[in-house]
Amino acid sequence: MRIEQNVSLEKYNTFHLPVKTRWFIEYENEEDLHKILRDEYFQECLSIHIGQGSNLLFVNDYNGIVLHSLIRGIEVVAEDEHSVHLRIGAGEVWDDVVAYAVAKGWGGIENLSLIPGETGAAAVQNIGAYGREIKDVIESVEAWNQLTFEKHTFTVEECEYSYRQSRFKNPHQDPHIITYVTLKLSKTPVFHLEYGALKQRLEGKEVNLETIREAVISIRREKLPAPTVLGNAGSFFMNPVITAGQFEEIRKQYPAVPSYPEEGGKVKVPAGWLIEQCGFKGQRHGEVGCYDKQALVLVNYGNATGDEIALFAEEIRNAVRERFGIELIPEVKYIA
């Protein structure tokens, strides 16, 4: 276990904000996590658990304890002729898991290639891309209750997954720390090419797990800035779901508005499109910008502060609310 005081989090958030945390604790196994949870000082302090910090916005220095899991490992725990169950440590880098599964010929997560972050955080947020979400392959999630110090293995139903949501997302309601995620992958994969750009990218090519992974990686590299080059946290907002009536109003004025049908006759509208219509795409305000290839991504040109990013995000929300009457909800989690 590593316990350090006054640690810079610059390497632990993909916006690369040079904030500090009062305490930083990294643990390698569940026994150490159990010790931390039972510690009285820990219980009194403010704390958050992070993965690679690829979905966080630190608005200030953090006056508490930042926890990070170094529980690693990918283990086959069950297998039959059709499927394989992989139990993965929460601290395992997500894209390493995808690369491993693809190399083995096990399908189910290839569309989720190159998403930054670690496996535990992926299961908290229900990461998704190109028509797939991690919930589609989750078998179970092992997590420790921060209040009772007990471990529970949650079935996928118990995780209460929906679009970028789960029971683990709001630690105030349900304070759990994920230590392992078990995925059920297929030895006879069905390919999911519903996302138009992915299908196009594969035209004339043999379709297999490797070519899908390559196509996803190339699409992501074109649209999304690499956090190693330009600080960002992927999509800053979630795509809003609106009523059919609201959608019709927008379509009258903008016949080309993109949309995806949702349950109950509702409609999901891409936030990137709404933001682009408001004129922000490619705009730079000091050290903060709205990415020129994907308006849903806010970027740090080098010396932005969390406050500046939050302020720019607020300006975007106000403009979208004023023009479309739609409330954008950040996908990124603000840490104050």
Taking CB under 6 A as the criterion, the residue among 89, 231, 234, 306 binding ligand EPU is 234
Which tokens belong to 260?
A: 């995806």
Q: How far is the CB of 322 from ligand EPU (least distance, A)?
A: 19
In the complex, minimum distance from the CB of residue 99 to ligand EPU, in angstroms, rounded to a whole number: 18
**What is the DSSP-derived secondary structure letter of residue 224?**
S
Q: Does residue 270 belong to the site contacting ligand EPU (CB under 6 A)?
A: yes
Q: Which stretch, 5-13, 36-44, 143-151, 290-298, contacts ligand EPU (CB under 6 A)?
A: 290-298
Alpha-helical segments (H) within the chain? 30-38, 40-44, 94-104, 119-125, 196-201, 209-223, 244-253, 271-277, 306-324
Q: Which residues does residue 152 pair with via DSSP β-bridges, in sequence order?
A: 143
Please identify which residue in 276, 287, 308, 315 interacts with ligand EPU, judged by CB under 6 A: 276
CB 193 within 8 A of CB 199: yes
Which residue lies nearer to ligand EPU by CB, 91 or 234? 234
Phi, psi torsion values for 145, nearest 5 degrees? -80, 125
164, 213, 220, 317: which one is catalytic?
164
Identity at 322, one-letter amino acid code:
E
Q: Answer yes or no whether residue 331 interacts with ligand EPU by CB under 6 A.
A: yes
89-148 residues in contact with ligand EPU (CB under 6 A) are 129-130
CA distance 232 to 293: 13
Taking alpha carbons only, the member of 21, 56, 50, 20 closest to residue 332 is 56
Residues 6+ apart with CB under 8 A from 9: 17, 18, 19, 20, 21, 24, 53, 58, 62, 66
Stretch that binds ligand EPU, among 19-27, 37-45, 288-296, 302-310 (CB under 6 A): 288-296
235 part of the active site: yes
Shortest Cβ distance from residue 91 to ligand EPU (Å)?
Answer: 20
Let me know: does 231 contact 303? Beta carbons within 8 Å. Answer: no
In the complex, the smallest distance separating the C-beta of residue 289 from ligand EPU, rounded to whole angstroms, is: 13
Binding footprint of ligand EPU on the chain (CB under 6 A): 129-130, 195, 223-224, 234-235, 238-239, 258, 270, 272-273, 276, 281, 294-296, 331
Active site residues: 164, 235, 331
